[in-house]
Amino acid sequence: MRIIFIGLGFIFLLVSCQSNDSDIPENQGMADTVDIETYRTDALQLYYQEIINNPDHPNYNEPEFDSEEINEIFNLIMAVYELDIPERDTVFAVHGIHAGCCNMVNGLGLEVQTDAPEIQNMVNGVMPTGNAQLDTILNAYAFDSVRLAYSYPDFPWLTLYTPETWNMIPIAHELEQIDAVLLTDLYFGCIGDGNNITLERNSDFATLTFSIGWGDCPAGCIHHRYWEFRIIDGQAAFIQAYAN
């Protein structure tokens, strides 16, 4: 699969990447409540990142995510959340740090042959499109809408969307077998940097690192601050805080 970065006129800056150029203060004010259930989305994103980083991952070629693995990662986040220390409050209540959300789980960017009849039908919502292989994929993964790139068809990119959640890697492989699909992009319209959570885990322990970024974040953030936690046998401990 060929994955490329596309710069578009209509690129959407993700909330997690938004920041101004001033220094972020140590304390932005405690949130009244922290909805820990929202971190299930973070667990999915962290699991997806593991898959993307490892072509030998057992879930790499499976479109359905392993829900048990996602729940295990959520439990790691919960272990940090249940700590009664200032650093826990800093990452959850003060800064409200979530994982970056650049891995698309309900959409996929495509470069297409815009004059192909099946592409024209798909863009115009005509089903079946006339290409049985394409129709099978669209139906199997419930793709139900298309967003065209700015200046389409001169810039021949579009994004397919589905209300369901999928590992888009094998789906991209399937779509690339269609002659009218030239390229696929897993990160369509994703740029910049900002707040994030990263995960490293092995058979002995897991490490969750929460970070904030500031200073020209659409271009990648000039500054970052990190809080690192280690989880062993379901018990979390704060390791260190550092900046760069």
At 62, list the tokens: 């499976």
pLDDT tens string 149-200: 999 999 999 999 999 999 999 999 999 999 999 999 987 666 767 789 999 9
Q: What is the pLDDT of residue 32?
A: 56
Helical segments of the chain, H only = 39-53, 67-81, 86-89, 117-123, 132-140, 168-175
Q: What is the mean pLDDT of residues 116-135?
A: 96
Question: Residues of the chain with pLDDT > 70: what percent?
Answer: 84
Indicate the fold that domain 107-185 takes in CATH: Alpha-Beta Plaits (3.30.70)
Given a cut of 60, whether residue 244 has pLDDT beyond it is yes
Given a cut of 90, whether residue 36 has pLDDT beyond it is yes
Give the pLDDT band (50/70/90) at residue 214. Answer: confident
Given a cut of 80, whether residue 10 has pLDDT beyond it is no
pLDDT, mean over the chain: 86
Given a cut of 60, whether residue 20 has pLDDT beyond it is no
Give the pLDDT band (50/70/90) at residue 14. Answer: very low
Which segments within the chain are labelled E, that is strand? 107-112, 145-148, 157-161, 181-185, 196-201, 206-214, 223-232, 235-243
The span from the CA of 82 to the CA of 79, in Å, is 5
The span from the CA of 151 to the CA of 110, in Å, is 15
Q: Which distant-in-sequence residues (6+ apart) come within 8 Å of 107 by Cβ?
A: 159, 160, 161, 162, 168, 188
Please list the residue range(s) of the chain that carry CATH number 3.30.70. 107-185
